[in-house]
């Protein structure tokens, strides 16, 4: 395949680039490098530093492409609460600009990195793709609104799409700036100090999925020959208390760490766990890396990184 990846210098994007290059695909990346924490990506891919606001650049990069993997986004819930207009501009307006460029260049497939945030506080867990969507923050709302755009562009213009609703992605290579995700924060605090800070007393139940499993889901969705607009949960299907995850990190690292509660944090659902039966049935995907193994790999990555 000849592919364009938006946000391909980011955490998930860089992992996807590596998997695609390993598979012999021709990869072009567009990234503005604003939050990835990187200035490069896999040397086998072509990196173009630019913005999705640039329609002419998008049309140029889409020439003769088979599929687009759309990962670029304003992806931090806290920032979306502080700057909701920016969240909708980045995650909806620029996404539609990408779809328009695809329409003009005749590119007929897009794999979209959506989010479990579209569900808000679900009425049941594990949550299924067809369950009620009621986002509780601007980030989730912007992600869900773009899914509607994908549906419209399929029915109106024949652009096929799959929206992959990621749950909590973790793993090696997360260089997000600023660091807001729990697992990389906790690991780095644990390796450099003696305290891990949690919210809500660590009682929230989340679904964590390893980044390489997420990359595989993207590639399987791109390879799928079915037409239409489809949505898939991408998670482990296994809910874990955040406190238990913190204790697992403490056990693996082997330090006498203090776990301190920081109280409430707005924008977070209390329980959010994926039902992954649909993606298993339709794409033949299932997670391979269990949480404990994934945390060990992630801790090894940050241990080496902190030595540099």
Catalytic sites, residue numbers: 139
Cite the beta strand spans of 82-129 per DSSP E: 109-115
Which of 119, 117, 112, 122 lies closest to 149, judged by CA? 112
HSE-up (13 A, CA, CB side) for residue 62: 26
Other Cβ atoms within 10 Å of 304 Cβ, number: 10
The b/e string for 270-286 (b: 16+ C-beta within 10 A; e otherwise) is ebbbbbbebbeeebebe
Here the tokens at position 288 are: 């391979």
Integer Cα distance of 100 and 29 in angstroms: 18
CA–CA separation, 224 vs 203, rounded Å? 38
- State how far the alpha carbon of 284 is from the alpha carbons of 72, 216, 224, 228, 233, in Å: 26, 11, 10, 18, 13
Cα separation, 143 vs 163, in Å, equals 10
> Is 37 within 8 Å of 17 (Cβ atoms)?
no
Q: What is the DSSP letter of 128?
A: P
- Three-state SS for 296? helix
In the chain, what is the straight-line distance between the N-terminal and C-terminal CA atoms, in Å?
A: 36
């Amino acid at each position: 395949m000849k592919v364009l990846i938006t946000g391909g210098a980011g955490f998930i994007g860089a992992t996807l680039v590596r998997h695609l290059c390993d598979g012999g695909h021709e990869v072009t990346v567009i990234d503005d490098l604003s939050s990835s924490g990187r200035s490069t990506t896999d040397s086998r891919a072509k990196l173009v530093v630019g913005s999705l606001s640039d329609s002419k650049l998008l049309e140029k990069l889409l020439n003769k492409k088979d599929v687009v993997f759309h990962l670029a986004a304003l992806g931090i819930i806290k920032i979306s609460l502080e700057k909701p207009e920016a969240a909708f501009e980045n995650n909806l307006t620029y996404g539609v600009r990408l779809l328009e460029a695809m329409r003009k260049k005749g590119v007929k497939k897009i794999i979209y990195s959506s989010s479990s945030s579209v569900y808000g506080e679900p009425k049941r867990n594990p949550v299924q793709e067809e369950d009620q969507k009621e986002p509780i923050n601007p980030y989730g709302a912007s992600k869900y609104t773009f899914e509607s755009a994908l549906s419209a562009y399929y029915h109106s213009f024949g652009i096929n799409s799959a929206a992959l609703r990621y749950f909590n992605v973790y793993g090696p290579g997360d260089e997000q700036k600023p660091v807001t995700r729990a697992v990389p924060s906790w690991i780095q605090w644990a390796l450099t100090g003696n305290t891990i800070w949690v919210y809500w007393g660590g009682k929230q139940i989340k679904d964590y999925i390893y980044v390489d499993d997420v990359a595989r889901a993207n590639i399987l969705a791109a390879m799928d020959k079915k037409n239409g607009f489809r949505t898939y949960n991408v998670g482990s299907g296994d809910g874990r208390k955040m406190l238990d995850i913190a204790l697992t990190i403490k056990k693996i690292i082997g330090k006498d760490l203090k776990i301190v509660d920081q109280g409430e944090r707005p924008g977070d659902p209390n329980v959010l766990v994926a039902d992954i039966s649909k993606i298993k049935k339709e794409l033949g995907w299932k997670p391979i890396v269990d949480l404990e193994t994934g945390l060990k790999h992630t801790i090894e990555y940050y241990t080496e990184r902190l030595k540099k």
